[in-house]
Amino acid sequence: MTTSLRLSEVSHPSKDAAARYDALMGIDGYKEQLLDELSLWLDAARVEKWQKTHHPKGLPGVGTFGWGSPLILLSGDVGCGKTALATSVGTPLARELDRKVIAMETPSDIRGHGLVGELSTRITDAFSQARARAKHVGCGLLVIDEADDLATARDQMHAHHEDRAGVNALIKEVDAIGRERTPLAVLLITNRSSALDPAVMRRASLHLRFGRPNATQRRALLERLLMGTRATEDELETLVEATSARRGVPFSFSDLTMRLGRSALRQAWRCDCPFGAAVLLEALVHIEPSPLVTREERTDA
């Protein structure tokens, strides 16, 4: 007997989500691409208005690729903002669309207990719930974290029958959303995109590959951290260089914000001194980069 499955839900716009979204520094390009792709899929009326304005006779060529797909893939190393972006983007999207957005997330035990047929049943159940809620609210997002656990390539030697059945169910549900034009987008998050089934990869209308921050991204992040301080251009450049890598391992976004930033804040508070570039440099001595989980999408420093 299978256990019941419940999706967690967050209604957007949300003040908490807005704060988390704004705190994601250095990935403005990813934010823009994701919002544009979600809007293209979920705001059919706006797309139709645009087409009538600029192409009143239609765009026959667009039929070769359509107006998008309900599936978006976010992949890359840990600590680079994939999950934080996927779970907070509902708020800027709600403001962009000027409507309520319901964001749902599958539970960590989505696979169940390994019973025969349980995985595919639970995937189907998750999508059924998400479709119903999206139709009721008018617009929805379904976030599936650690997607490689559900969508591993079916030709893998170790792939069990249940795993293959789960991938088949996932593909079937994504195709149904696209065919029915359900107002629901699916965001798959993974640290190992190379492990995903090719059929799942092909269905993604957008693949955002997150790497560890390069010099431009680190500069944007550090500028945000140092807002309100009197950091000089030379100090900023020194920090950009100092945060590139250590023993060949680059720092992640979360290394620089949650670990370095927080450590420097504690140090400034403890010493009763101003927060600034000098404190960040001092704290950096004690911070090591998070170990690389995957080298597939590593970003040059």
pLDDT in tens, 215-260: 999 999 999 899 999 999 999 999 999 999 999 999 999 999 889 9
Strand partners, 9: 104
Q: Which residue has the tokens 């990869």?
A: 201
The answer to whether 109 and 71 are in contact (CB under 8 A) is: no
How many other C-beta atoms can be found within 10 angstroms of the C-beta atom of residue 222? 27
Helix (H) or strand (E) holding 121: helix 118-137
What average pLDDT does this structure show over 61-84? 80
**Cα–Cα distance for residue pair 90/38, rounded to 1 Å:** 10
Q: What is the rounded CA–CA span in Å between residue 301 and residue 215?
A: 6
Rounded Cα–Cα distance for residues 92 and 138 (Å): 16
Cα Rg of the chain, angstroms: 21
Can you give the pLDDT at residue 190? 92
Indicate the range of 65-69, 73-77, 115-119 predicted with least confidence.
Answer: 65-69
Q: What is the mean pLDDT of residues 263-286?
A: 95
CA–CA distance, 143 with 101 (Å, rounded to integer):
13
Smallest CA-to-CA distance from 267 within 240, 253, 286 is with: 286
Residue written as token pair 């900023």: 236
Q: What is the mean pLDDT of residues 38-47?
A: 87
Q: Which two tokens stand for residue 203?
A: 């269905």
Residue 1 has pLDDT above 50, yes or no: no
Per-range mean pLDDT, top range of 11-15, 190-194, 246-250 = 11-15
Domain spanning 8-210, CATH class = alpha beta
Mean pLDDT of 58-63: 69
Q: What is the pLDDT of residue 166?
A: 86
Query: Measured in Å, how far apart are the chain's first and last C-alpha atoms?
Result: 51
Distance (Å, whole) CA 89 – CA 141: 9
Residue 57 has pLDDT above 60, yes or no: yes
Tokens read off for 87:
């779970």
Residue 34 φ/ψ, nearest 5 degrees: -65, -45
Determine the Cα–Cα distance for residues 266 and 270; give it in Å rounded to an integer: 6
Strand partners, 227: none
- 5 alpha carbon, distance to own chain's centre: 23
Whole-angstrom distance, CA of residue 104 vs CA of residue 130 = 7
HSE of 89, CA atoms in CB hemisphere, 13 A: 28
Q: How confident is the model at residue 116 (pLDDT cuts 50, 70, 90)?
A: low
| Contact predicate 68/186, CB 8 Å | no
Residue 109 has a pLDDT of 80
pLDDT category at 156 given cuts 50, 70, 90 is low
Least confident window among 117-121, 201-205, 226-230, 272-276: 117-121
Half-sphere exposure of 136 (CA within 13 A, CB side): 9
Helix (H) or strand (E) holding 9: strand 8-12
Q: Where are the domains of the chain?
A: 8-210, 215-284
* CA pair distance 137, 35, nearest whole angstrom: 19
- Mean pLDDT for all residues in the chain: 88
The separation between CA 171 and the C-alpha centre of its own chain, rounded to angstroms, equals: 20
195 vs 143 pLDDT, higher one: 143
